[in-house]
Amino acid sequence: MWIWTQLLVAGCSLGSFYALIAMGFSLIFGVTHAFNLAHGEMILLSGYLAYGLWTVCHFSLYETLPLCMLAMFFGALLLQCLLRKLQEPFALNTLVITFGLALLLQNMMLMLFSANYRLIPAEESQFALLPAFRFTTLQAKLILLSLTATGAVHLLLHRTFLGKALRATIQDRETAQLAGINVKHMSVIAYGLGGVLIGLAGPLFGQTTYLHPAGGAEATLIAITITIFAGVGRTRTILLGGWLLGLVESVATLTLGSSWRELVSAVLLITLLVLRPEGILSRATE
């Protein structure tokens, strides 16, 4: 019984982290239709920035978060400047450009940081929420930050005029433009918000898993899988999708071994693309 309760805790904390990885990707893709294959590399850049601040300036994780979020805010705006002049077919061209950008960033990180694996140390203390459920400090941090970020984005999208304009742009860009919404401004805002979320995920990525230049592909795969599961423009189901993926990977690691974790993610992605490409809960309304 204890093993399965701890598996649930591990799966939910890992899934919360996955949801945080996917949130920025989903928001940018929903508003702009830009398929960013360099999403994982941008998260790695944020993680490396946090690692540098921790190593050189001895900043704590919470001190690195605002700086990483600000840096990736401007990084995402630079990406928007790069992609905004692309011609049709826009989605296909963004695939090509961001794939090249991902390779460029990988090689840049390899040159600057070498191929060594790096990790931002995390506190190892534990506490019990209930007798059968024990959390580490890192697990609690992942869950709380993910819930906070998800709640903030959900409130923005559903309780503000700006959020309603963003949702209208996600649902139908042409109709939103006819209704008087400046979709170009919405695209800039989406990139900025997505960059902030990427900056938030980066330092946590550096504490949860090892930083290395080739690690961005896994983060991008996670973001794509959860976005497809949730459906574009849905916030609460992104968190649900992250929990599902985290639990599936945790069960696979326990029963089959850690080497099967990436394969499970790939199989889940293919299954979702074949069976429910519009999102597993597409009929539900938020």
Percentage of the chain exceeding pLDDT 90: 39
Token pair 């423009």: residue: 233
2 compared with 271, residue with greater pLDDT:
271
Give mean pLDDT, residues 195-201. 94
Class of domain 2-116+135-275: mainly alpha
Beta carbons within 8 Å of 74's beta carbon, 6+ residues apart: 195
For residue range 6-31, what is the model confidence (pLDDT) as tens digits? 788 888 888 899 999 999 999 999 89
Model confidence pLDDT, tens digit, residues 217-265 = 889 988 988 888 887 767 778 888 888 888 888 888 878 777 777 787 7
Task: Identify the pLDDT of residue 106.
Answer: 94
Distance of alpha carbon 42 from alpha carbon 149, whole angstroms = 18
**DSSP one-letter code for 211:** B
Q: Would you give the distance in Å from CA 249 to the centre of its chain?
A: 17
Question: What pLDDT was estimated at residue 221?
Answer: 87
User: Is the per-residue pLDDT at 284 higher than 60?
Assistant: no
Closest CA to 234 of 283, 161, 196: 283
pLDDT band at 48 (very low <50, low <70, confident <90, very high): very high
Distances (CA, A) of 222 to 113, 120, 175, 264: 24, 21, 31, 11
SS3 sequence of 212-267: CHHHHHHHHHHHHHHHHHHCCCCCHHHHHHHHHHHHHHHHHHHHCCHHHHHHHHHH
1 secondary structure, DSSP code: -
What is the chain's mean pLDDT, rounded? 86
Indicate if the pLDDT at residue 281 is higher than 60: no
- For residue 267, the model assigns a pLDDT of 81
Contact 52, 174 (CB under 8 A): no
Peptide bond into 213 cis (omega under 30): no
d(CA 28, CA 30): 6
Q: Where are the domains of the chain?
A: 2-116+135-275
Tokens found for residue 97: 């450009």
